[in-house]
């Protein structure tokens, strides 16, 4: 395949690029990434050594840039990871979320339509369904997003479905649960808590710490995305989760045990506004494509913790960078944590 991977310099996108280059010997993989605070060229260090890989810095909202790249490399498929992704940032300043996650998606769909591309895979999230007290969401459930982030992602999904309905485009939607693994920006729960614990800093646990997420190791997620891209039926939505539902407290205490750090590092802080209580996915549909997770949860978490221990050069500069400092000041004010 000749693929355009947008947002490929981020966490999940860079793992997906590595997987495609390794497992599909004939692929050409072109990454288009704006390199926002979350995009990191170091995430693509392995891919850069491959002659079948190209990197272009640019914005998915710019139609001319997108079309020029598609024409130049005769691209057939788009996998759209590019997004603003952090819920807390969306609560502080939502504008970029609507721009990239809705308008950016629509710009890409328009390019797919104009260039009669073969496939468009939208990387979406379980957060578009909102919170669920018991049971698990199915692909047919209504969208009830509750944060500016999840509302923007839902807006992107609706654009994708509208382009299917109106123009018959060969689109697919993957709705993944919470990912974790190496190279995740240290503002999300697991990398923030692992790196704070390594520095003997406090771990700011929101509310009562009993909010629940359905966790999936990033490599399992990327293999699932690959199955959807290769075998998914156009027009269909696929939930993608590993069924590891844990409270934030359980995640926090497992991290502390793995690092042999005391529970006194945990600080209960004021809750996130509109904090979704629980996410869980029914994944029968993707399992029918033959996919299943390969990584047991604790083994994957241990591997992830070890990666952050072994790569301080990757995260220390991000945590002390100017952009992160600005965000942390806002965040500290909001959560009343030092
Ligand atoms: P990330 O924040 O690590 O990376 C996002 C990437 O998109 C960055 O490289 C950034 O530079 C790029 N980007 C942002 N705006 C852009 C624009 N306008 N044009 C081009 N590039 C732009 O995100 P991630 O965690 O790797 O998530 C990737 C995708 O997966 C997102 O669409 C996200 O909604 C979805 N998702 C993530 C999770 C998760 O747990 N991380 C779970 C479910 C779904
Ligand atoms: P996060 O990693 O931001 O992912 P999402 O909000 O997309 O699920 O947060 C995961 C959970 O951890 C969520 O319930 C909020 C909680 N959390 C904390 O308790 N403290 C923190 O500092 C962060 C970033 C998250």
The tens digit of pLDDT for each residue in 32-84 reads 999 999 999 999 999 999 999 999 999 999 999 999 999 999 999 999 999 99
Q: 16-40 pLDDT, tens per residue?
A: 999 999 999 999 999 999 999 999 9
Q: Which atom of ligand 1 is nearest to the CA of 101?
A: 32
Q: Which atom of ligand 1 is nearest to the CA of 61?
A: 18
Mutate to test the pocket of ligand 1, among 7, 60, 78 (most ligand atoms within 8 A of CB): 7
Same domain, 228 and 266: no
DSSP track, 5-69: EETTTSHHHHHHHHHHHHH-TT-EEEEEE---TT--GGGGHHHHTSTTEEEEE--TT-HHHHHHH
CATH assignment at residue 128: 3.40.50.720
Residue 325 has pLDDT above 90, yes or no: no
In the residue annotation, 206 being an active-site residue is answered as no
Same domain, 45 and 175: yes
In the residue annotation, 149 being an active-site residue is answered as yes
Q: How many domains does one find in the chain?
A: 2
Q: What burial class does residue 40 get, using C-beta atoms within 10 Å of its C-beta: 0-12 exposed, 13-18 middle, 19+ buried? A: buried
Same domain, 7 and 103: yes
Alpha-carbon gap, residue 259 to 85, rounded angstroms: 27
Helix 312-320 to helix 297-310 angle, to the nearest 10 degrees?
A: 70
Alpha-carbon gap, residue 46 to 8, rounded angstroms: 13
Closest among 94, 108, 143 to 7, alpha carbons compared: 108
Same domain, 209 and 197: yes
Encoded tokens for 37: 């605070």
Encoded tokens for 7: 């947002």
CATH assignment at residue 201: 3.90.25.10
Alpha-carbon gap, residue 61 to 42, rounded angstroms: 24
Instruction: Give the domain range for residue 267.
Output: 189-213+248-275+301-335
Q: What pLDDT score does 144 carry? A: 98
* pTM flag (> 0.85): yes
Whether 287 maps to a domain, the answer reads: no
Alpha-carbon gap, residue 170 to 167, rounded angstroms: 9
Whether 290 maps to a domain, the answer reads: no
Same domain, 144 and 201: no
Q: 81-135 pLDDT, tens per residue?
A: 999 999 999 999 999 999 999 999 999 999 999 999 999 999 999 999 999 999 9
In 3-state terms, the chain is what percent helix, strand and coil (to 5)?
50, 20, 35
Catalytically annotated residue among 84, 101, 127, 226: 127
Determine which residue's CA is closest to atom 5 belonging to ligand 1. 10
Same domain, 20 and 147: yes
Same domain, 231 and 196: no
Q: Which atom of ligand 2 is nearest to the CA of 206?
A: 19
Whether 142 maps to a domain, the answer reads: yes
Catalytically annotated residue among 129, 149, 217, 331: 149
């Amino acid at each position: 395949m000749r693929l355009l991977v947008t947002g490929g310099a981020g966490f999940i996108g860079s793992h997906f690029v590595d997987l495609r280059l390794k497992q599909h010997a004939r692929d050409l993989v072109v990454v288009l990434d704006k390199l926002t605070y979350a995009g990191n060229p170091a995430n693509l260090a392995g891919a850069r050594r491959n002659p079948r890989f190209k990197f272009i810095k640019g914005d998915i909202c710019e139609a001319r840039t997108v079309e020029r790249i598609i024409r130049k490399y005769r691209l057939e498929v788009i996998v759209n990871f590019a997004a603003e992704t952090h819920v807390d940032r969306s609560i502080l300043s939502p504008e970029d979320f609507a721009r990239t996650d809705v308008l950016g998606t629509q710009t890409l769909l328009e390019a797919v339509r104009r260039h009669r591309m073969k496939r468009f895979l939208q990387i979406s999230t379980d957060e578009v369904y909102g919170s669920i007290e018991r049971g698990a969401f199915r692909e047919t459930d209504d969208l009830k997003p509750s944060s500016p982030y999840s509302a923007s992602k839902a807006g992107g999904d609706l654009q994708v479905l509208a382009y299917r309905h109106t123009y018959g485009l060969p689109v697919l939607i993957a709705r993944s649960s919470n990912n974790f693994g190496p190279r995740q920006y240290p503002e999300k729960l697991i990398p923030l808590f692992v790196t704070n614990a390594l520095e003997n800093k406090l771990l700011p646990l929101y509310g009562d710490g009993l909010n629940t997420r359905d966790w999936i190791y990033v490599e399992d997620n990327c293999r699932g995305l690959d199955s959807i891209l290769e075998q998914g039926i156009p027009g269909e939505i696929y939930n993608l989760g590993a069924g590891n539902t844990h409270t934030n407290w359980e995640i926090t205490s497992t991290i502390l045990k793995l690092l042999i750090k005391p529970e006194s590092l945990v600080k209960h802080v004021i809750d996130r506004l509109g904090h979704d209580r629980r996410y869980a996915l029914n994944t029968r549909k993707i399992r029918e494509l033959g996919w299943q997770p390969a990584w047991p949860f604790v083994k994957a978490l241990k591997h992830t913790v070890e990666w952050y221990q072994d790569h301080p050069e990757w995260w220390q500069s991000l945590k002390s960078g100017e952009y992160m400092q600005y965000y942390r000041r806002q965040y500290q004010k909001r959560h009343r944590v030092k």
